Chain A
Amino acid sequence: MQAKANPASVAAAVPVPGVTAEIVTFHPPMRPAVERLRDGAGKLAAALLPPVIVLGLTILIWQVLCSSPGASLPAPTKVIADSWDLIADPFYDNGGVDKGIFWHLAKSLSRVAIGFSLAAVVGVALGVLVGQSLWAMRGLDPIFQVLRTIPPLAWLPLSLAGFRDAQPSALFVIFITSIWPIIINTSVGVRNIPQDYRNVAAVIRLSWWEVFWKITLPASVPYIFTGLRIGIGLSWLAIVAAEMLIGGVGIGFFIWDAWNSSRISDIIVALVYIGIVGFLLDRLIAFAGKLVSHGVSAQ
Chain B
Amino acid sequence: PGHRQEGPTPGQSQPPAALLGTPGAQGAARPQGVSGAVETHSGVRHPPFSCSPLASQACSAPAPDLGALKRKAGRAAPRPAVHAVLRSLLLYATQRQAGAGRAGGREAAARCPPRPQDGLQGPTRFQLLRARFTGTGREPLKRTREVGRQDQQQPGRGVVAATVHKLLEKTSGAAGQPGPGQEPPCGAQPGRGRPAGRSRVRDILRTLLAAEKPAAPGMPPGGPGASSRAPPRAAGRAGSVLSRLRDKFQQGCLRSEAGVLPLRPEGRKQRPTPRRALLRPVPRMLCTASRASACVCPPPARLLACVAEPPPGAVGPGAAGLGGVQPGHTASLVSQGRPVRVCKARRLRLRRLRRLFLRVPGDTHQKSVKRYIRKGVPLEHRARVWLGVSGAQAQMDRNPGYYQRLLQGESDGSLEEAIWTDMNRTFPDNERFRRGADPCLQRPLFNVLAAYGRHNRDVGYCQGMNFIAGYLLLVTADEEEAFWLLDALVGQILPDYYGPAMLGLRTDQEVLGQLVRTKLPAVAALLDGHGVLWALVVSRWFICLFVDTLPVETVLRVWDCLFSEGSKIIFRVALTLIKQHQASILEASSLPDICEKFRQITRGSFAMECHTFMRKIFSEPGSLPTSSIRRLRARCRAQLLAPQ
A, B assembled together: no
**B interface list, Cβ under 8 A from A:** none
